[in-house]
A and B are shown apart, each in its own frame.
Chain A
């Protein structure tokens, strides 16, 4: 193995590319899956937390709903208030302790989704409350239920407004998946650690790793910008006077 820096980098790339690629695959797989699941979880949590409690409702329903909303609030606060690395250790080894056998992969998806869910719940809550109340009133005034007004009118607008923040969560997940090396998930960081340990060439290995992470996150940021542009683009509209044939 060459002793200079550049030579070291070339040597590592030539010999250990498959390991890096394996790490990239796992990292992307976990972060993408968890972002999608987390968005769904977050959206549901946000809507449930904002569900108005009707004074006229049955007392049992009110108590249950209030308790449930308190529980969801606790979930959001607790997850956001503790490091994911600690959660990962606790959940993975804790569940092993009580005899729950699951793979590192599914435990990882669970942990990252749980985290994304908590953050997206807050993002979506902001997104929903920032949609003009007139939109809800317009929907209610034509007879829609609260849930219908949410699904067809408010959430689509809230989602659009939250898209930059949600995209940001995806980028954060790509980077933060690296903490799952503590439960031996062979994502990119763990692969890099393994490679650097073979020849004790830490700086070369991790420069490569940093560049790989940056390429992934930068590409995704660009893609999301393009998506936003596409969503906001309004086609030129010119009314046609004779347009009554349909």
Chain B
């Protein structure tokens, strides 16, 4: 592991019109780290995540990826192969089969040949337990299956960091586990992950660090044990009390 953080964010601000969604965020992610971002809706956690692969363009501030400023002349499309993303609504390509979803990016973006792309797609589909469904259309899958395919699709691009934007929030309760199971395995293998989630037990279990956001600022950033058992800030306590009661 090297000492330099893989992603380093300094003084990040994001406005939507007059609304300040992110107010001066400082944040870093080290290699092989699993960071969970928690907080109530509207606290800016998804926006922070979406700034990291420039799906949202920051209003001001600097984002370094491997020491390079991604807002200054960095190839956005290359960046997005290096920092992958898994969405709440899966966003699988509805006009393609499961395996084509996993192959198209490798072929069109990474310029790999079809044979290599297929091998890799099969490798990752197997890993998420979706290989038997490789020829299915996306509409023939359940939510949990779709999300596992979406994870395989992201992994096929060989990302150095994988971002998860509330990956289980759109799932029926009985499908949440299958997706979390896949993510746990990835964490064990040392993939660098940033996960926006409402699954407190999962965050506690898997994360190396938990970040609590409220109202556009990072309130607390610490080891999961500290956050969940002994939070320093009143706002964190209030949030966790509410979240754990209902979760």
Chain A interfacial positions (CB closer than 8 Å to B): 134-135, 137-145, 148, 152-153, 156-157, 160, 234, 237, 239-241, 243-244, 246
Contacts and interface: CB of A to CB of B under 8 A. Distances in A.
A160 B95 contact: yes
8 contacts: A135-B91, A141-B91, A142-B154, A148-B108, A234-B139, A237-B133, A239-B132, A241-B132
Given A160-B95, A237-B135, A141 B108 contact: no
A142 B82 CA distance: 9
Contacts of B137: 234, 237
A159 to B, nearest CB: 9
A246 to B, nearest CB: 7
B122 A142 contact: no
Contact of B153 (A142, A241, A244): A142
Interface stretch (B26-34, B58-66, B73-81, B205-213): B73-81
Given A141-B55, A142-B157, A244 B131 contact: yes
Contacts of A148: 108-109
Interface string B154-177: 100100000000000000000000
B31 to A, nearest CB: 21
A239 to B, nearest CB: 3
Given A237-B136, A237-B140, A239-B136, A143 B85 contact: no
Contacts of A143: 77-81, 105, 109-110, 157
B237 interface: no
Contacts of A141: 53, 55, 80, 84-85, 87, 91, 154
A155 to B, nearest CB: 9
B134 A243 contact: yes
Given A144-B77, A157-B94, A237-B140, 4 more contacts: A143-B81, A143-B157, A153-B93, A246-B122
A145 B132 contact: no
Nearest to B108: A148
A172 to B, nearest CB: 27
Nearest to A141: B85
Nearest to B137: A234
Contact of A157 (B81, B95, B108, B135): B95
Contacts of A139: 93
A143 B106 CA distance: 10
Contact of B80 (A140, A157, A239): A140
Given A234-B137, A237-B137, A144 B105 contact: yes
Most chain B beta carbons < 10 A, residue from A142, A143, A160, A234: A142
B126 interface: yes
